[in-house]
Amino acid sequence: MASSDKQNRPKARLAKGFRDVDANEIRGLKRMLRIIEEVYENYGFEPVEQPFIEYTEALGKFLPDQDRPNEGVFSFQDDDEQWLSLRYDLTAPLARYVAENQQFLPTPFRSYRQGWVFRNEKPGPGRYRQFMQFDADTVGSASPAADAEVCMMAADTMEALGIPRGQYVMKVNNRKILDGVMIGTEIPLEKRLTVLRAIDKFDRLGINGVKALLGEGRKDESGDFAKGAELNNLQIERVLSLIITAHSSAKQITEGKYLPEEFKTEKDADWHLIDEMKSSFYNFEITMEGLRELEEIHKLTRASGYGSDRIRFDPSVVRGLEYYTGPVFECELLMEAKDEKGNLVRFGSVGGGGRYDDLVARFTGQSVPATGFSMGVSRLYSALKLLGKTEDKETTAPVVVLVMDKERQGDYQKMVQQLRAANIRAEMYVGTSGMKAQMKYADKRGSPLVVIQGGDEKARGEVTLKDLALGAQLASGVESREEYASQRLAQVSVPEADLVSEVKKMLARK
């Protein structure tokens, strides 16, 4: 029977593509999210929340790496045989919410949301099937002022999180420029999304990888085959020319090498590039419209004091999602840091967004302009952690009151309540083990100190406070067990009445 039970036990294993999150990261994330929320609130955005689950048809076919409906999402049927899906981003549910509640909402509707999203995709290093996003959107405004404001807010958020100016940049482009390029190269409408997604992978796959995706397709390292856009050689050549030119221009702008000295001084070399593009082969009405929108964003951000060191035109920004219709944005961290293994890490993009004027219209049949920005919370947190900007100095591990006499648990709990009343994190040991195991427990918890009161201390009306960190430090210099036992390392006995004040003093020295 015992053997059978053992065979039927489930294996304790984490689902593929998911991860557990520990206490330190949760606290760091909460602190980071509070800061982002404060910036968004200061801009007048209001919180709103949609459920994790939506009707599958409401989410639509918008995943950046999938071309078939419902592919890439976690879906199931309910009792009414309706298909439901876990949301894959926070934008599609917002579009449904606005369409359903439009008559009750102010126009424009300015909101922010944070929460988990889910992708039924192949996981990889740093790529999970569940991750958190923090979005801000303005729905109901076609003005480039709304786009400019989103960019300014994202830049302010980076600085509020402790990332200095010059170590991040908000990059801005316009999908209408790319639409003009594809019109000029006679790329059929049904192939354009595949082309955009191929271009968007340039930083990861390089020119040869993108070339393969523009043609027949490519195999990845695992042997999976991704079908390409199947363009002809001339079309591939023109698109690759655009990519090379865009990335070359972006690199020169970043290094301050682009265009005459007067533009370098003004930090507007990037935006001057727009004038050059007006006279290039991109000259179609839709492209000109995109360039005019970029000029307006430039004007508004500069008038508000945001230079090219914070918000910059970058023709290499594409964004892979299908629903973008105009300006697109990407927030990139420019600094480098070393990871836990000592490897040099370049962070790259930590968020992006853009204008999506047709998403609400899927539900209403009427055009509702919208623009927004999504922060990749997990990626941003990882970057801040490597930069040493995630520590929550306000939270310490709890003081542990040891239970030396089980008959006196009421006395120990009273001590805990006195500490808590003084706003000190504290807990009574609620296990059943002896003192040695209790000390190990406090050590594993990272407790700064423990409170001890045995029969002798009780008779004297005292408690003993032991500083665990200092005790460990002093013990490292002790050579024998006898010497260790003869010393009362890093501990002090005080009157019971002084428990709270003495604990405060010891914690203040940490």
Q: Of the candidates 346, 364, 386, which is a domain's last residue?
A: 386
Residues in the chain: 510
Which residues, 6+ apart, have CB-to-CB distance to 386 below 8 Å?
Answer: 337, 338, 339, 345, 347
Q: Judge if the upstream peptide bond of residue 260 is cis by omega within 30 degrees of 0.
A: no
**Residue 303 and residue 411 in one domain:** no
Asked whether residue 457 is domain-assigned, the answer is yes
Q: Please give the Cα distance from 97 to 47 (Å, whole number).
A: 13
Quick check: helix, strand or coil at residue 19? coil
364 and 411 co-located in one domain: no
pLDDT number for residue 479: 46
Burial class (CB in 10 A: 0-12, 13-18, 19+), 87: buried
**CA–CA distances in Å: residue 98 to residues 107, 138, 326:** 10, 11, 20
Let me know if residue 6 belongs to a domain. no
Residue type, 112: Y
Residue 153 located in a structural domain: yes
Range of the domain at 420: 399-508
Domain shared by 378 and 477, yes or no: no
325 and 378: one domain?
yes
What is the amino acid identity at position 455? Answer: G
Inside any domain, residue 105? yes
Averaged pLDDT, groups of 10, the chain, 510 residues long: 70 91 89 96 96 91 54 86 92 95 95 94 81 96 96 97 92 88 83 82 82 88 82 84 66 47 48 64 74 91 91 82 88 80 78 92 92 93 85 76 94 96 95 92 92 94 90 48 48 94 90
- Asked if residue 394 is part of any domain, the answer here is no
Residues 480 and 348 in one domain: no
**Rounded Cα distance, 297 and 407, in Å:** 72
Looking at residue 283, its pLDDT comes to 58
Give yes or no: residues 244 and 334 share one domain: yes
CA atoms of 67 and 88, how far apart (whole Å): 14
Domain shared by 233 and 355, yes or no:
yes
Which of 181, 312, 295 lies closest to 253 in space, CA to CA?
A: 312
Within-domain flag for 16? no
Residues 475 and 355 grouped into a single domain: no
Query: What whole-number distance in Å separates Cα of residue 5 and Cα of residue 238?
Result: 65
Q: Do 334 and 476 fall into the same domain?
A: no
Q: What is the pLDDT of residue 163?
A: 93
CATH (domain of 408): 3.40.50.800
| Lookup result for tokens 């729905």 | 139
Structural domains of the chain, count = 2
In a domain, 138, yes or no: yes
DSSP-assigned beta bridge partners for residue 173: 328
CATH number at residue 205: 3.30.930.10
pLDDT for 352: 93
pLDDT at 481: 42
Residues 451 and 309 occupy one common structural domain: no
Domain stop point among 332, 365, 386 = 386
Domain boundary among 362, 386, 410: 386
Assess whether 254 and 358 both reside in one domain. Answer: yes
CA pair distance 172, 434, nearest whole angstrom: 63
Does 223 reside within a domain?
A: yes
Query: How far is it, in rounded angstroms, from Cα 121 to Cα 500?
Result: 53
What pLDDT does 272 receive? 65
Question: 280 and 406: one domain?
Answer: no
